[in-house]
Amino acid sequence: MGATPGSMGMTGASGAVMGSHSGTAGMAAGRGATGGGDVGSVGGAVGPQQHWCATMPVHRRLLNQLPDYARARGAIENSTRSVIAGRAGTRFPDVVRIPVVVHVVWNDDRQNISDEQVHSQIAVLNADYRAANSDLGTIPDAFRDLVGDTQVEFHLATTDATGRPTTGITRTSTTVTQFSPDDDGIKSAATGGADPWPASRYLNIWVGQLRDGLLGYAQFPGGPPQTDGVVVTYTAFGTLGTATAPFHLGRTATHEVGHYLNLFHIWGDDGTGCGGTDEVDDTPNQAGPNNGKPTFPRLSCDNGPHGDLFVNYMDYVDDAAMMMFTKGQVARMQACLETARSSVLAPGATPQPAAPVVSRGADRIDVVRRGTDSAPRHKWWDGVRWQPPTLGYEALGVPLRPSPAVS
């Protein structure tokens, strides 16, 4: 559903910039839960319902803890709007490819999933993101014209950060019995997990035992590089081995990578109200998440005759019931790969052009462009002066080397 006028802040100073109007946004029950109530705060006194995505609670934790994250999110949203508004069709010259490293963190032998199970997940990502999945034919006729191909493919990394050959899979034995999104413990060797590979060059995916029935979570672009990436529980990863119905078709990773590429939940993360937004124009308004396997039409928020787009990857239905991104969601993900995530694309696959993207708001101008190291950087006019107050640009969610040159 498209943005409501006035719903988005321009400076990224608050949670409102993330397309939600409610202080409880992002706390809705997750995939497979019964109903759309709150799951409680991350690390708070209220325990989560089972089978939920923790991306929005993690997002709110970062907003509360890291002022730079809020500022980066505002700039990324501004650049996303500008790229989409200025696009005449796709800017991708062809298919682009993202190198992936999968960190398997295991406490018992069953959690040490096979290479074949990892490969099955990569195959699902490639089918889903290219609109080549075998279940496209079951999409209700009313929604078929909305289906979009992202022109994005994924492959396990073939060289590590030092240039040595790799399978793109790491394995870490741990004494930790389950991991939580409260502290991102699975993402650090110091807390029993595995350290990420450079987030500016790889999509890091961690697989392990998550707490309380949690399926997975992701970090939106603009966050700390040491925790950037996607986490999926080992029973919802891939299509064989430990993958367990109803989350056995690899769609948890499809959903979480959508967040990694700057997609919000399709109902706009306002609980069960009708006032939120996912910042996408071709997704219908929707009152909260759907669960299980809904039947068409599923009506809410006066969105008849076709109702909720429950077959969308960014809803909370079972794996067998989700099967598409919309063209509007594709535009948003491609804008992310042109700006905040441009450095992760395989060499030679960077979308063109790489010219600066300029966004203007009340008393603010943001300029986002790619540096010579392919990392996204920005500077902004705060109504009085340019920031940062030097000739350089500030990094957006990736390490900033001294005095970066800008192409």
Catalytic positions are: 256
Dump the DSSP string for 365-397: EEEEEEBTTS-EEEEEE-SSSEESSSSS-EESS
Tokens representing residue 167 in the block: 């399978």
Beta 230-233 vs 376-381: how paired, if at all? unpaired
Please state the three-class secondary structure of the chain as a single string: CCCCCCCCCCCCCCHHHHCCCCCCCCCECCCCCCCCCECCCCCCCCCCCCCCECHHHHHHHHHHHCHHHHHHHHHHHHHHHHHHHHCCCCCCCCCEEEEEEEEEEECCHHHCCCHHHHHHHHHHHHHHHCCCCCCHHHCCHHHHHHECCCCEEEEECCECCCCCECCCEEEEECCCCCECCCCCHHHCHHHCCCCCCCCCCCEEEEEECEHHHCCEEECCCCCCHHHCCEEEEHHHCCCCCCCCCCCCCCHHHHHHHHHHCCCCCCCCCCCCCCCCCCCCCCCCCCCCCCCCCCCCCECCCCCCCCECCCCECCCCCCHHHCCECEHHHHHHHHHHHHCCCHHHCCCCCCCCCCCCEEEEECCEEEEEEEECCCCEEEEEECCCCEECCCCCCEECCCCCCCCCCEC
